[in-house]
Structure 1
Amino acid sequence: MKGYIAVLFTHSDAIKLSRECKKRNINHKLMPVPRKLSSNCGVCVNFHYEGDIQDLTFSGVEKFFHVEEENYILVYE
């Protein structure tokens, strides 16, 4: 499965995405945003997902990054 980090605009948006991941049985965790990535709220959602990342987008998502080893590749903005 591919690893992703979702950077969100607010803490509430991070909670909303976390709930959506839980509802879809997507393995995820809330965590501080890595220093390499900026964020308005400082909290991101780290998750693994095989489906189309567009399925998880909503107005609260600032960016999605695909995580490869220690590199972050922007896949949605």
Structure 2
Amino acid sequence: MEYNVLFFTHSGAMKFSRKVKSMDIPCKLMPVPRALSSNCSISARIRYDGEIENLIDDEIEKIFLSENSENRLLYEAE
């Protein structure tokens, strides 16, 4: 499954990228897609088949599941 992960800060995105790559999860940092909003202008696109809840940390603002050119909000920080 493909996800777009949005962050509160650039440093949070960098930390997340290092974390998931160390877990052998493909990750590409990129600008936030226009259809999505964010406090930070960087997002991560990952391919992950496990439980997405296992990757959530304090740096993540939102997580969207990307399917058929659509993004469905799965997680939003409180």
Length-normalised TM-score, structure 1: 0.95
Residue deviations 1:22-52 (CA, integer Å, cap 9, x gap): 1100011000000110111100000000111
Question: What is the alpha-carbon distance in structure 1 between the residues aligned to residue 49 and residue 27 of structure 2?
Answer: 13
- The runs of 4+ residues in structure 1 deviating greater than 3 Å are none
Aligned residue-pair number = 76
Length-normalised TM-score, structure 2: 0.94
Give structure 1 stretches of 5+ with no counterpart: none
Query: Is 1:68 the equivalent of 2:67?
Result: yes
Matches within 5 A, 1:1-77: 2-77=1-76
Q: Aligned-residue CA RMSD in angstroms?
A: 0.6
